[in-house]
Amino acid sequence: MDGDGIDVATEAGAQRVPAQPNQRRGRPPRAGLASARREHFTQAAYSVFAEYSYEDAQVSEIARRAGVGQATLYRYVDGKRELLDLVVDWCAERVFAAIDVDEILDGADADGPDAPQAMITDLGDRLYALIDEEPNLLRILAVQAGAVDRELRYRVSGLYSAVNGLIIRALSRAAERGWIDADAQHLELIAHLLPSLSMPGFILALSGDQDQEVTRAEYVACAAQLSRYGLLGAGRREVE
């Protein structure tokens, strides 16, 4: 008889039974395995890029730290460039998680005159906590990602723009609650200026022995007061 299958003898005569497709041997594929593997490789790449420049970082070292061979790694990523993309994306996610606008606004006292200062202080504490948890994040975003190629520099610039958008959103919400007195144009300008206050704090965090808890608290308090009475203009009537 024609066709794929085998002949089986029955009382009615020989009948054709369709051939069964070849069954794959081994364990069935686990749902989410590829995503979990890529996340694992991202963490290994993060540690390597924190120690080596992009040119000096070796895929073999990333695979070694991930505990796999290079062939296994290349089954899930195209190479070193994609790994750096994954690392930058992961760093961006951590920054956005730290700058949670809703939590920062909800944590401030809406009825108190110190609400703007409390908001800035909370933001400073969150950024310091992020640096403590991931001290290499700044190096990768500020140095590593910006030195590879134009495309990645655009991505990092996009991250800064997104952070700026979050700050504008926070300032707009604060203005709606009456914490600060500024129009939309001034809020956008202030949003560009506020991040500059964080740079000395970031440098302090990377300075080793000079990065002390008391020094951090003094810096955050100073930045919060400068923001409140200077950039944000809150409390001017109190001073006058």
Asked if residue 48 has pLDDT above 70, the reply is yes
207 and 138 both lie in a single domain: yes
Q: Is position 65 within any domain?
A: yes
Q: Between 60 and 181, where is the model more confident? A: 60
Residues 6+ away with beta carbon under 8 Å from 224:
117, 118, 120, 121, 124
| Whole-number pLDDT of residue 146 | 66
| Whole-number pLDDT of residue 239 | 39
127 and 169 both lie in a single domain: yes
How many domains does the chain divide into? 2
Of the candidates 53, 77, 101, which is a domain's last residue? 77
97 and 145 both lie in a single domain: yes
Asked if residue 40 has pLDDT above 90, the reply is yes
| Whole-number pLDDT of residue 236 | 44
157 and 217 both lie in a single domain: yes
Q: How confident is the model at residue 237 (pLDDT cuts 50, 70, 90)?
A: very low
185 and 220 both lie in a single domain: yes
| Whole-number pLDDT of residue 234 | 47
Whether residue 41 contacts residue 50, with contact meaning beta carbons closer than 8 Å, is answered with no
Q: Is position 105 within any domain?
A: yes
Q: How many CB atoms lie within 10 A of CB 76?
A: 18
Q: Is position 20 within any domain?
A: no
* CATH code, domain carrying 160: 1.10.357.10
72 and 93 both lie in a single domain: no
Q: Is position 42 within any domain?
A: yes
202 and 96 both lie in a single domain: yes
Q: How confident is the model at residue 104 (pLDDT cuts 50, 70, 90)?
A: confident
Residues 6+ away with beta carbon under 8 Å from 68:
none
Q: How confident is the model at residue 191 (pLDDT cuts 50, 70, 90)?
A: confident
Q: Is position 232 within any domain?
A: yes
98 and 174 both lie in a single domain: yes
Q: Which domain holds residue 59?
A: 32-77
* CATH code, domain carrying 69: 1.10.10.60
231 and 176 both lie in a single domain: yes
Asked if residue 119 has pLDDT above 70, the reply is yes
63 and 94 both lie in a single domain: no
* Mean of all residue pLDDT scores within the chain: 76
71 and 90 both lie in a single domain: no
59 and 169 both lie in a single domain: no
CA–CA separation, 220 vs 201, rounded Å?
8
